Amino acid sequence: MSSFTTFVINPAAGRGRVGQMLRQLETTIRQHARSSNLQITITQAPGHGLEVARSAPAGSRVVAVGGDGTVHEVVRGIAGSDKAIGVIPIGSGNDFARMLGLHRFSLEAALQTALHGSVHSVDLGLVNGQPYGASLGIGFDAAVARKALSAPTFLRGMPRYLYSIFGVLKELELPTLELVQNGQTVYQGPSLLVALMNGPAYGGGIPIVPDAVPTDGLISVAVAGAFSRLGVVGILPRLIVGQHVHHPRLHFFQGTEFTARFDRPVPAHSDGELLLPSHTYQVQVVPGGLRVIRP
């Protein structure tokens, strides 16, 4: 593997926290890297991180400094290549870092891991042909992700997600879903949300599919069926601690390929990044399709 390392720093991540840390970050990176085979790029706009990751040298390490949005761009930029992604988790959710066991690392520990950790492979998700790393959510949770964009800046992680949930409950209107797994319909009916996961958690640590494993070659799926507003409020305490899995209106599946069809365009997000609403989402897994840096 190449000794070259590219740092992709998103100053907007963590509601601007990364931007406030830029001088500290650059100084710390250069102190620990001690190498001329180093590039530090401060992203200027959405999509810049993807282009930086895509143009990084073959076989190199590309380190996302920020949150899941920054990670998502790097994942898209290196998917299908021999490059590996490292993460310095300074975002408001950090669910990809959580999937890799990095979310509680200090800045220096995360940096040491990114520079010197081992390269492993995890599964890569594809939604309508586009890569994602940890999570894909369709329906209610995507509306929540959109609402989170306007949440108070002091809210981070799960509190931000919960604030947004209550903000969209008043507009609840369930679409009808047909979920097809490898050509066979496994669910049909009203659906609050569908989560198609590589990792167990999204929304800043909510364990929507607690048993999901990013190295098993499978997409782990949770379908929430016909929930009322009161039902959503009732399931939240159980959902937060991962005790929702036996609820009769929650359905779980695993497989290599799924198609989610709706009776109207439904919003979605991959790794927290909003997608254009669509009637149909085709999802598949690429086993071991993403190289990652872990301790």
CB atoms within 10 A of CB 98: 22
Domain boundaries, the chain: 5-116, 132-287
> Which CATH homologous superfamily contains domain 5-116?
Probable inorganic polyphosphate/atp-NAD kinase; domain 1 (3.40.50.10330)
Q: Which two tokens stand for residue 270?
A: 């991959």
Q: What is the CATH number of domain 132-287?
A: 2.60.200.40
Task: Give pLDDT tens digits for 56-89.
Answer: 999 999 999 999 999 999 999 999 999 999 999 9
Report pLDDT for 6.
97
Task: Give pLDDT tens digits for 115-124.
Answer: 999 999 999 9
CB atoms within 10 A of CB 278: 17
Task: Give pLDDT tens digits for 85-112.
Answer: 999 999 878 999 999 999 989 999 999 9
CB 96 within 8 Å of CB 134 = yes
User: Predicted confidence band at 151 (pLDDT cuts at 50, 70, 90)?
Assistant: confident
For residues 255 and 196, what is the distance between their CA atoms, to the nearest angstrom? 10
Opening angle at CA 15, ends 98 and 68, nearest 5: 30
CB 239 within 8 Å of CB 208 = yes
For residues 258 and 283, what is the distance between their CA atoms, to the nearest angstrom? 5
CB 70 within 8 Å of CB 91 = yes
User: Predicted confidence band at 164 (pLDDT cuts at 50, 70, 90)?
Assistant: confident
- pTM of the entire predicted model: 0.91
Inform me whether the pLDDT recorded for 222 exceeds 90: yes
For residues 49 and 71, what is the distance between their CA atoms, to the nearest angstrom? 9
Fold: same for 5-116 and 132-287: no
Report pLDDT for 239.
87
User: Predicted confidence band at 175 (pLDDT cuts at 50, 70, 90)?
Assistant: very high
The residue-averaged pLDDT of 236-254 equals: 92
Inform me whether the pLDDT recorded for 2 exceeds 70: no
